[in-house]
Amino acid sequence: MSFHLIIGDKLHSSWSLRGALALDLAGVPYTEHLIRLGQPDTRALILQYSAAGKVPLLQTAHGTIADSLAIAEYLNEQFPAAQLWPADIAARAQARSACAQMHSGFFGLRANLPFDLSRDQALQPMPEQAQVDLERMSALWAECRAVATESGPYLFGRLSLADAFFAPVAVRLRTYRVALSAEDAAYVEAIYQWPAFKAWQQAGLEEVQG
């Protein structure tokens, strides 16, 4: 089975990062096609692949799948041996809940701390809406750790789809120099040491140089 991932700029497309990390977790090779965002022809180019008009998009033998969460669940079904969600029922339920909350919320965080791998500057003052989201994010991560049954530095011990979904948050916390608890700082560092993330980060920073 072959996979082709259509993404936006690696420097700025947090949702594309999620799709790529999910594919890495599944352990399947894939090709990718990058469409520059914010260009006059961006939407037209994306519409050539899907009427959804957004990235990421995953082309598969079963059709084109739009949306990172749908991509993640598709890969989970196709590659059960990869155990993309935590094995424990309670942990798995919490992982799905956390990803769904990230997927549909935290608008204050997204609006005020846009994803940019090249940034390295604090935001002063921190907008109230963003601060509320930051506090909720820390609490959500704590909720994940509380039900984890496996050992490791990630939200549920070992790497899972939850980490693919929260990797862009880790980027925002580091690039905006947000003060963190020891637990959250360790988690952000773990994401930054994830080989698949490091490869994406390097490619994103090379876009700046290009």
Q: Which tokens belong to 26?
A: 């599944």
What is the pTM assigned to this prediction?
0.96
pLDDT, average across residues 89-118: 96
pLDDT > 60? residue 94: yes
Instruction: Tell me the pLDDT band of 42, cut-offs 50, 70 and 90.
Output: very high
* Confidence at residue 120, expressed as pLDDT on a 0 to 100 scale: 97
Q: Which tokens belong to 66?
A: 């739009």
- Give the angle 93-97-100 at the CA atoms, nearest 5°: 140
pLDDT > 60? residue 108: yes
pLDDT > 70? residue 210: no
